[in-house]
Chain A
């Protein structure tokens, strides 16, 4: 598989994982003592060329938060990040579709 497609696959996997983490945070927005989770990836792959082998990490945000029950989920923050994530995912699928159609074109012309 081409390097670009492999990178797109990893980026799509990270976005999918992120959407699950947002779902978990939002599902537990009323759970006392719950600490929000987040996916660490961009920071790990910075300045790396062959970053497709790096695995994303799910981390727990231990910030005390502003609520009395110890929960630090902020609905607005999660919603904004989830919206960004959705747009990123859709952009990535468009890029992948463009790459695949170019491959298909090449294959047709080689016939």
Chain B
């Protein structure tokens, strides 16, 4: 045994020597550094999943000679990452709608874009914290082939018996777009606290075939023909229509609410200079034109050139969301919604 032990020791020493030689060799090998230019970099946390980032980030990088590191995730998750100071430390948060952003306002650094004065009056930076970069409007998307002769012009039409189980929407609890859709419905059907409006919500949910976990699933399911109607938001649907999908976008005759999508600089960020550049950049005329014209999104810029597939805003009955009310009553609205869900589940 003694011999084996002694032998093992010797073997281990030889092995160690060989390994260290190889390791050292590879270290030398790897130490040949590339003079990859060490540019400035900023970290952007975003909940966006669409092509908006494609049109924003490479151009920003080229224009400012800066590297962008994207961290994608659900908004709630991103906020908790910021709170916990997870790495990489966020410089910018770019994502959800007003009410979501506002409830986390203590995380933001004050900054007003140099382009703020060129934005539409309603969507300027009134808090000094958050900059609107586009408007997200709710809409109803319909599969043209499947709807046949069902007339869908507004929310009221969705209660048609033939649509029972053929409607899909996302869950307002995890999707900011779905929450906007809910407040849009309430506002259009009588008001946030109107009994009639909530009764309509109840009936509508009873019509639902599925409450999806993400907005993406909603419009894709309609486009692929799994559902006839989807309750979702405007820009991806416009893009799908532009890509000649078999879809039709309905702006309900009861009214459509546009809420701004916002970005903000995170407090104690590591690169404030470039963060400010970024906020200026997304509110600039150039990028707003790209969003409106190329990405078919509703610009916040006063005289942006909109894309051809966007229904002119003049042709849509636009409702003004009571942002103050919504941001203060978000939890109440969601809990009322949950009660309806529980009731419907109970009925089943």
Whether A and B are associated in the same complex: the answer reads no
Please report B residues at the A interface, Cβ cutoff 8 Å: none
Please report A residues at the B interface, Cβ cutoff 8 Å: none
